[in-house]
Structure 1
Amino acid sequence: MVRAFWERLLGKAVRRGGAGFFFLDDTFWSGNRDSGAGRIISNPFTSIDFMSSTEQNANTNEQNDHAEQVAEDTAPDLKISSDIQEVSACERRIKVSIDRAEIDRYFTNEFDELAESAYVPGFRSGKAPRALVEKRFRKEVAERVKSSLVLDALGKINDDPSLTPISEPDLDYATLLLPEEGPFVFEFSLEVRPEFDLPDWKGIAIEKPVREFGAADIDQAVERILASSGKLEKKEGPAESGDYITTTITFSHEGNTLSSAKNETIRIRSTLSFHDGSIREFDKLMAGVLPGETRQTELVISDDTANPDLRGKTVAVSFEVSEVNRMVMPELNKELLEQLGGFENVGDFRDAVLDILKRQLEHEQNRRARRQITEKLTVAANWDLPQGLLKRQSERELRRVILELKRSGYPDEAIQTQLNILRQNSAASTAQALKEHFILERIAEVEQIEETQQDYDLEIALIASQSGMTPRRVRAQLEKQGDMDILRNQVIERKVLALILENAKFTEVPFDFEEAQDEAVDLAVGGSEADIAEVDEEDLKAVNREQIEKRMIDPNARK
Structure 2
Amino acid sequence: MSTSTEPETTEVPEEKKTIQLQATVESPSPCVRQVIVTIPHAEVERYLKDAYDEIVPEASVPGFRAGRAPRKLVEKQFRDRVREQVKGALLMDSLSQVSDKEEFSAIGEPEFDFESIELPEDSGDFKYQFTVEVRPDFETPTWKGLKLSKPVEEITDADVDESLQRVLGRYATLEATDEAAAMGDKLVVTIKFSENGKLLSELEEERVTLNSRLSFSDGVIEDFGTLMTGVVEGDTRTGKAKISEGVSNEETRGKEIDAEIHVIEVLKSELPKLTPSFLEELGDFESEQELRDFVRDSLTRQADYRTQQALRQSVVDALAGNADFELPKSLVQRQTQRELQRKVLELRRSGFDEDNIRRFVNASRQNAQASTEAALREHFILEKIAEEAEVDAEPADYDAEVALIAQQSDSPERKVRARLEKSGQMDALRNQIVERKVIEMIVEAGEVSEEKVEKSKGDDDQEFAVYHNVLPTRDDEAIPAAKYEDNSPKDAEKKEKE
TM-score bucket of the superposed structures, by smaller chain = 0.7 to 0.9
SS of the residue 2:189 aligns to: strand
Deviation readout 1:504-532 (Å, 9 max, x if unpaired): 22222234375312210111111213499
What is the aligned counterpart of 1:197 among 116, 121, 139? 139
Q: What CA distance in whole angstroms lies between the structure 2 residues aligned with 1:436 and 1:482?
A: 22
Deviation readout 1:202-260 (Å, 9 max, x if unpaired): 22222223234344433333332232333322245222211111222122222222212
Residue matched to 2:165: 223
Normalised TM-score (structure 1)? 0.72
Deviation readout 1:360-386 (Å, 9 max, x if unpaired): 222112211111112222235443333
After superposition, where does 1:475-494 map in structure 2 within 5 Å?
475-494=417-436
- Which letter maps to 2:201? S
Residue matched to 2:111: 170
Q: What CA distance in whole angstroms lies between the structure 2 residues aligned with 1:283 and 1:529?
A: 30
CA contact under 8 A between 1:306 and 1:529: conserved in structure 2? no
Q: What CA distance in whole angstroms lies between the structure 2 residues aligned with 1:419 and 1:232?
A: 27
Q: CA distance change for structure 1 residues 522 and 210 in 2, over 3 Å: closer, same or farther?
A: same
Q: What CA distance in whole angstroms lies between the structure 1 residues aligned with 2:80 and 2:396?
A: 47
Normalised TM-score (structure 2)? 0.81
Deviation readout 1:441-491 (Å, 9 max, x if unpaired): 111122121222222232233223333444333333333333332222212
Query: Is structure 2 residue 351 aligned with structure 1 residue 351?
Result: no
CA contact under 8 A between 2:248 and 2:369: conserved in structure 1? no
After superposition, where does 1:104-253 map in structure 2 within 5 Å?
104-107=45-48, 131=71, 145-160=86-101, 162-173=103-114, 176-179=117-120, 181=122, 182-253=124-195
Q: What CA distance in whole angstroms lies between the structure 1 residues aligned with 2:175 and 2:469?
A: 29
CA contact under 8 A between 2:178 and 2:232: conserved in structure 1? no
After superposition, where does 1:379-394 map in structure 2 within 5 Å?
379-394=321-336
Higher mean displacement: 268-277 or 137-146: 137-146
Asked which structure has the greater RCO (Cα within 8 Å, sep 6+), the reply is 2
Q: CA distance change for structure 1 residues 267 and 112 in 2, over 3 Å: closer, same or farther?
A: same
SS of the residue 1:200 aligns to: coil
What is the aligned counterpart of 1:459 among 359, 381, 401? 401
SS of the residue 2:332 aligns to: helix
After superposition, where does 1:312-461 map in structure 2 within 5 Å?
312-333=254-275, 336-461=278-403
Residue matched to 2:470: 525
CA contact under 8 A between 2:139 and 2:322: conserved in structure 1? no
Q: CA distance change for structure 1 residues 141 and 323 in 2, over 3 Å: closer, same or farther?
A: same
Deviation readout 1:383-426 (Å, 9 max, x if unpaired): 33333332222212211211111121211221111011111111
Q: CA distance change for structure 1 residues 307 and 232 in 2, over 3 Å: closer, same or farther?
A: farther
Residue matched to 1:472: 414
- Which letter maps to 1:399? Q
What is the aligned counterpart of 1:500 among 427, 434, 442? 442
- CA RMSD after TM alignment: 3.4
Q: CA distance change for structure 1 residues 149 and 513 in 2, over 3 Å: closer, same or farther?
A: farther
What is the aligned counterpart of 2:208 among 235, 248, 266? 266
- Which letter maps to 2:218? D
1:83 is displaced (CA, Å) by 1.6
Q: What CA distance in whole angstroms lies between the structure 2 residues aligned with 1:128 and 1:212?
A: 86
CA contact under 8 A between 1:244 and 1:326: conserved in structure 2? yes
Structure 2 runs not aligned, ≥5 long: 1-11, 478-498
SS of the residue 2:111 aligns to: coil
Q: How many residues align?
A: 458
Q: What CA distance in whole angstroms lies between the structure 1 residues aligned with 2:398 and 2:322?
A: 33
Q: What CA distance in whole angstroms lies between the structure 2 residues aligned with 1:332 and 1:128?
A: 88
Q: CA distance change for structure 1 residues 180 and 298 in 2, over 3 Å: closer, same or farther?
A: same
Q: What CA distance in whole angstroms lies between the structure 2 residues aligned with 1:248 and 1:502?
A: 52
Q: CA distance change for structure 1 residues 314 and 296 in 2, over 3 Å: closer, same or farther?
A: same
Higher mean displacement: 136-145 or 211-220: 136-145
Q: What CA distance in whole angstroms lies between the structure 1 residues aligned with 2:115 and 2:291?
A: 57
CA contact under 8 A between 1:307 and 1:529: conserved in structure 2? no
Q: What CA distance in whole angstroms lies between the structure 2 residues aligned with 1:79 and 1:466?
A: 56
Percent of residue pairs bearing the same amino acid type:
38
Q: CA distance change for structure 1 residues 463 and 105 in 2, over 3 Å: closer, same or farther?
A: farther
SS of the residue 2:258 aligns to: strand
